[in-house]
Amino acid sequence: MKKSLTEWRALASKELRDRSLDELDWHTLEGLKIKPLYTKEDIDQLDHLDNLPGMEPFTRGPKATMYGGRPWTIRQYAGFSTAEESNAFYRKNLAAGQQGVSVAFDLATHRGYDSDHPRVEGDVGKAGVAIDSVEDMKILFNQIPLDQVSVSMTMNGAVIPTMACYIVAGEEQGVLQEALSGTIQNDILKEFMVRNTYIYPPEPSMRIVADIIEYTSDKMPKFNSISISGYHMQEAGANLVQELAYTLADGKEYVRTAIERGMDVDKFAGRLSFFFAIGMNFFMEAAKLRAARLLWHRIMESFDAKSSKSKMLRTHCQTSGVSLQEQDPYNNVVRTAYEAMSAVLGGTQSLHTNALDEAIALPTEFSARIARNTQLILQEETGVANVVDPLAGSYYVESLTSELADAAWNIIQEIDEMGGMTKAVASGIPKLRIEESAAKRQAMVDRGEEVIVGVNKYQLESQDEIDIRDIDDSAVRDTQISRLNDIKKNRNTKRCSDALKNLERVAKNGGNLLNAAVEAARERATVGEISMAMEKEFGRHRAEVKTLSGVYGAAYDGDDDFRRIQIEVDEFSKAEGRRPRMLVVKMGQDGHDRGAKVIATAFADIGFDVDVGPLFQTPEEAANDAVDNDVHIIGISSQAAGHKTLAPKLIEALKEKDAEEIIVICGGVIPQQDYKFLLEKGVKAIFGPGTNIPAAASEILKLIAQSR
């Protein structure tokens, strides 16, 4: 006999003794209250349940048959060292079952610098492949038929020269532009919020976005002109409601910009795509993708789009990099598998699965194979591809889909009231909210309120080193400089110069920038030269450094251990006559500043005086700041593997300024194999991923005291 809800509650109450169901409620980082039980009552009033997959508003999926008609595309986001090495990696993966190429570029390329530029000495070939010209791009896709293999390129700042080199490489492979398929990220608003690989100020950057949409809609009908990315927002600390809202608000701004340029919405909107992160909140991540389709349909109807394709959200997903841990790293295989299944149950169109070692370094062939096979097993062995939207009708998932959509819509409306996402980004409000969310989550992890297996619970007593991929950036840079010299020696100097001058005129007077850049790339103008031609007119953006205070410390209110560390800082201050002072720096072209910002706010709340250097500093500039600010300690935040080059140069720069007493420490993505090298060069301590911040603060305080 069926029990009523009232009877069930009575039974549960008896079984749980004195615990009420309300005590079992789970409050997420987003502020959503998740109940322990969902019933039909929770979805009775929802209005998105009546449509089938492939039917507007596409909540249940953009295609009627979904994976039964065509499985999601298996992609591996990869790029490292030289174009030759990356090409070999792509070809091997394509032969082993990968179905598309996703290119990661090094930070020098992202920021529009050629490999011989003095500001990129530690960045060349490190966090992606170095591309300086058409010749590099041709090598990158050697023996990869560009009329058959789709190419996804994560590029935003130097998007014009990158696209130009790709188009010309295709031409010289014999592939017409209209046959090229794939996606360029071209999502500059998110760069100003979180990832920071911008070049130009917001206004000309938005012009570039529109020029690419215009060019591709006219000449490249199979190519997606923009991939609107929430991935980097979640990686920077955004909660899922923020990721959903800000991503769709970015998309709304791009559509508005293209329409204002006179473009027909139904001519270009069908080639827009999205890119979301998939973290460890399994059901919420699946519900997020369903809510994204629902809301995008609503947004596109507000632009009076007529075509169903214009109103249909298509997305690529990537498993979370932040969820990967250096400690007990084989657990990362399990994390990635759960995240991959969540993306598939949410209805993604393509997927990249991270490798187990990406919390430490670039993936090896061994780890990349496991990551790729995770998708193959999911696609071929589990049966999840045989049923369309298998979570449909779930009381919990449907309710969660609606709650996420409503919460995100409130933020989107708030952004509209501010005048749109460009103005919101200029205000700095979305960035600060994301940083606040990151600080809150870090405090939850440090306190053990959010369990991470192997990090803050169930730790190993000892851990063996794992094999990692190590890139010799000096050797890569030498190779790239040699190729650059050959290109400049063999090209027609006058024709190249004329093409670059024409690009400058287009930047100043109007016209399509990508069209002019393609002409320059044909004449073998380099990525740096094409970028500089536009920079002469647009300038290079400099971000204002803003930090939070109070957010991290608020999570420790009343905590005895936290107060004990604050007392240690107070005692140091009394003895020294001032508080311990730290400079947090990001050197090279690494703009991923989540770690730096979290450290800055946490140490400030603990009681340190904290200065934060501007992004993209050289070691010499960081040393100047340290001396000028009279700091005790410099904390280098590293994520892009430039630490072996940049940290020793910083220490040498301090010596030249007779400031050897300033302690240098490192934190971030640093392999254990590099620790000995850094310590021998003078780094005093290294704090890897998963470090407990209050414990690190106590250790750093002792280092400062010992050095006095």
Which of the residues are catalytic? 77, 231-232, 586, 590, 592
- Whether 601 contacts 439, CB under 8 Å: yes
Written in H, E and C, the secondary structure of 230-250 is CHHHHHCCCCHHHHHHHHHHH
Write the DSSP assignment of 372-437 as a string of letters.
HHHHHHHHHTS-GGGSSSTTTT-HHHHHHHHHHHHHHHHHHHHHHHHTSHHHHHHHTHHHHHHHHH
Please give the Cα distance from 148 to 472 (Å, whole number): 33
Write the DSSP assignment of 646-663 as a string of letters.
HHHHHHHHHHHTT-TTSE
H-assigned helices in 129-239: 134-140, 159-172, 188-190, 202-219, 231-235
**Residue 183: strand pairing partners:** 152, 224
Residues with Cβ within 8 Å of 578's Cβ and at least 6 positions away in sequence, in order, are 609
Beta strand pairing status for 182-184 and 315-319?
A: unpaired
The radius of gyration computed from the CA coordinates of the chain, to the nearest angstrom, equals 26
- Whether 634 contacts 662, CB under 8 Å: yes
- Whether 53 contacts 64, CB under 8 Å: yes
- Whether 271 contacts 224, CB under 8 Å: yes
**Residue 317: strand pairing partners:** 276, 351
H or E element: which one contains 610?
Answer: strand 609-612
Counts of helices then strands in the chain (DSSP H, E): 27, 16
